[in-house]
Amino acid sequence: MIPEKIGIKIWDLKAEARDELYQLIDKHYKKMPRNSDGSIKSSDPSFNDNDIDSLRHSYVSAVYVIEFSYETAELLGRLNEFDPRSNELASLNMDLWNNSVGRDYGKKFKRGEELFFALLKALKDGELIITPSDSRKYKGSKSIKRLPKSFVIKIRENRTGANIEFFDIRNKRMMTKEQFIEAIRAGLYPGYAVKKHSSGEFPYSTRDKFSFNNLG
């Protein structure tokens, strides 16, 4: 059984990492705007499309890698940009670029000051994009404009690379492999099936038009 708090953590991790970053920025880089009670503002128009924005996207993406995996971080990053109405392509390009940089740093540094100082150096060295007018283009997969009715992502693998923990994006439900297989057989996830292998049974996504739906 996976503790309920793990499911909560994965959904709240973005805000947790963001607030962690803002404390580091305030302490080591520049003073952040504060609320009347003295706390750092968690959102402010001045945080968009600039150096704070670039640090936020890269730091959160790095934390996703540290807490889960590179592949999960890439997908969560695209889900974060999910907005069928969005026409801000330049800002989207900036966010996806910085997410990508953050994922690479998440493979090399520990969460906290070590990661922050590495990303701050990347910022000062021009590795991050700090304005939508930057001409560099992100070449990877773009944002997700539409989700399948049932959408489950892999969260963790075991030492042999087999998927063992999953997260239902729409219902915010964490599942073990066994729980997911049981739910598939109960007809709760029509886009998924179960296949047998010499080492056991595993859930996988059936072929559909959603290329990001990639449980193998």
Q: Which two tokens stand for residue 26?
A: 């305030």
Residue of 147, 140, 150, 133 lying closest to 184 (CA atoms)? 150
Residue 186 CB neighbour total at 10 angstroms: 8
Residue of 123, 110, 108 lying closest to 28 (CA atoms)? 123
Helices within the chain (DSSP H only): 4-28, 51-67, 70-80, 89-106, 113-124, 177-185
- Residue at 158: amino acid letter: N
pLDDT tens readout for residues 72-121:
888 888 777 655 445 578 998 999 999 999 999 999 999 999 999 999 99
pLDDT band at 1 (very low <50, low <70, confident <90, very high): very low
Contact of 31 with 46, CB cutoff 8 Å: no
Domain boundaries, the chain: 4-124, 152-205
pLDDT tens readout for residues 25-63:
999 999 999 999 999 998 888 899 999 999 999 999 999
Supply the pLDDT for residue 159: 78
